Copies of this chain bind each other. A is one copy, B any other.
Amino acid sequence: MRQAPADADWMAVAIALSRRGRPASAPNPNVGCLIVNNGLVVARGWTQPGGRPHAEAMALTAAGGAAHGATAYVTLEPCAHASPRGPACSDALIAAGIARVVIAAQDPDPRTDGKGIARLQAAGIEVVFNVLPAEARAAMAPWWTRQVEGRPFVTLKLATSLDGRIAMADGSSRWISGARARAHGHLERAQHQAILVGRGTLEADAPKLDVRLDGLEERSPKKLLLTSGKAPEGWAAVASPEAVADVDSLLVEGGAGAASAFLAADRVDRLLLYRAPILIGGGRPALGDIGLTDLGDAHGRWRLGDSRMLGSDRLDVYERIRII
């Protein structure tokens, strides 16, 4: 006989579901919801494009009568505020006869922030919270970062040789990475709301910055240009890393100037390092000055989060260690 999954096991599934909402749920949080009745999954939900329906609403609709007496696993506290676009999820869970709600993270939005939990408890529902909260927050890092810190969650992509070069001395860089690494880069584009390059990259490469993966073309992000001047048609100009507005998730693709500006401003949360098994030697470095004056200060900032081979290239994903 199999061992019954624990709350944390079901929550891990809900967190995986929550990732499906990225980035289309923005500016709403990408939440995941799993409804389990008598040990069986009866419905799954995640925040839909544009932010509605919410994950709980999607799952409750799918569950129908099977929600009665069931446990709902949600990655973020169910909202306590109704809107013209739908009822509060806490009310919907109560109305559906859910018996137990397991929550990963409390909602920092002041319109909910504990009120959802209180409303569920007042209706006699058993509430368990703080189940895998860090994992749930990581899965909705863009929304969380903007909600709590008022700025976008920024991923910096660097595609280099083993010796850290992004191009030959003459600027040629096609191709350093192989086809699988480039496809992965396009998938990352599809998971971001906006993408940014510097003027040098715009002028040298005229990058389209679109998602060139079949079926994902419509996921091409907004295009931002880091410049003190004007942006061409189809682009928005941002004067500094601090000036990026109305974006939850930003992918900085290059070049060295833009990358260094975001690092110098400590505005990078995640590093994607694609490394091809080649040596270039004299060539263009991935970064310029990032404001480091003491080597000791460089330590303790980055933690390896993921590492994998993409063909013969290696992808290392580093996360900025922030003490909150």
Contact of A279 among B173, B283, B298, B316 (CB under 8 A): B298
Residue pairs across A and B with Cβ atoms less than 8 A apart, 10 shown, are A158-B163, A164-B164, A168-B292, A175-B295, A276-B299, A278-B301, A279-B292, A279-B302, A281-B290, A282-B290
CA distance A245 to B175 in the complex (A): 38
Would you give the 0/1 interface string for A283-311, flagging 1 where the beta carbon is closer than 8 Å to chain B? 10111111110010011011110010100
Q: Is the CB of A281 within 8 A of B295?
A: no
Is A280 located at the chain interface by the 8 A CB criterion?
Answer: yes
Is A231 located at the chain interface by the 8 A CB criterion?
Answer: no
CA distance A302 to B176 in the complex (A): 13
Contact of A164 among B163, B168, B173, B299 (CB under 8 A): B163
Is A244 located at the chain interface by the 8 A CB criterion?
Answer: no
Chain A: residues with CB nearer than 8 A to chain B? 158, 160-165, 168, 172-176, 260, 263-264, 271, 273, 276-283, 285-292, 295, 298-299, 301-304, 307, 309, 312, 314, 316, 318
Q: List residues of chain B with CB within 8 A of the CB of A161.
A: 164, 298
Contact of A314 among B158, B295, B298, B304 (CB under 8 A): B304
Q: List residues of chain B with CB within 8 A of the CB of A176.
A: 295
Q: Which residue in chain B gives the minimum CB-CB distance to A161?
A: B298
Q: Which residue in chain B gives the minimum CB-CB distance to A178?
A: B299
Q: Is the CB of B163 within 8 A of A285?
A: yes
Q: Is the CB of B173 within 8 A of A295?
A: yes
4 further contact pairs, Cβ within 8 A, besides A168-B292, A280-B295: A162-B164, A278-B301, A280-B298, A304-B312
Q: Is the CB of B286 within 8 A of A163?
A: yes
CA distance A139 to B124 in the complex (A): 69
Q: List residues of chain B with CB within 8 A of the CB of A291.
A: 281
CA distance A264 to B282 in the complex (A): 11
Query: Closest 10 A-B residue pairs measured CB to CB?
Result: A164-B164, A281-B290, A278-B298, A282-B289, A277-B302, A281-B287, A163-B287, A163-B286, A163-B164, A281-B289
Q: Which residue in chain B gives the minimum CB-CB distance to A174?
A: B295
Q: Is the CB of A172 within 8 A of B295?
A: yes
Contact of A281 among B172, B174, B288, B302 (CB under 8 A): B288
Q: List residues of chain B with CB within 8 A of the CB of A175.
A: 295
Q: Which residue in chain B gives the minimum CB-CB distance to A303?
A: B277
Q: Which residue in chain B gives the minimum CB-CB distance to A172?
A: B295
CA distance A283 to B285 in the complex (A): 10
Q: Is the CB of A287 within 8 A of B279?
A: yes
Instruction: Report if A302-B278 is in contact (Cβ < 8 Å); known contacts: A158-B163, A163-B164, A168-B295.
Output: yes
CA distance A280 to B279 in the complex (A): 19
CA distance A283 to B282 in the complex (A): 14
